[in-house]
Structure 1
């Protein structure tokens, strides 16, 4: 099954740009925004200003992946050892 890439326009630091991401990454990004009480533009602006990759879409994917990895690790560390 092929992953659907969605291209969306977003304002980052006062400039309009287009970002192409798989739907799962858009959904993850929106979830993080809700948990942080931020707009999508604010969060993407934060990611953009601290990115080390040349491509914004890649930076966003890595940010979302890292966020959920840390969240999963935190949950796992709270569980008692078997």
Structure 2
């Protein structure tokens, strides 16, 4: 894990994430055409717990959404 300094909502803070989660955050931000700090700021605005944990959950949810199979027509 690596601690990274980020600027969110106009103030510095740090997050500690494993490299794969950091790379995934960068991919998600790039896909939206935004900076990683802005993505982190968005997650920060909606979180209820620890920021690093919220970022991991955000990454998991985003990748689950893209990996979810099409349920097909609803009967």
Could you state the TM-score of these two structures normalised by the residue count of structure 1?
A: 0.83
Q: Which of these residues, 33, 40, 44, is aligned with residue 36 of structure 2?
A: 40
Q: Which of these residues, 6, 10, 13, is aligned with residue 6 of structure 2?
A: 10
Structure 2's unaligned 5+ residue stretches are: none
Q: Which residue of structure 1 lines up, in the alignment, with residue 17 of structure 2?
A: 21
Structure 1's unaligned 5+ residue stretches are: none
Deviation of 1:72 (Å)? 0.4
Q: Which residue of structure 1 lines up, in the alignment, with residue 45 of structure 2?
A: 49
Count of matched residue pairs: 72
| 1-structure distance, mates of 2:70, 2:60 | 18
| 1-structure distance, mates of 2:37, 2:44 | 10
RMSD across aligned positions (CA)? 1.4
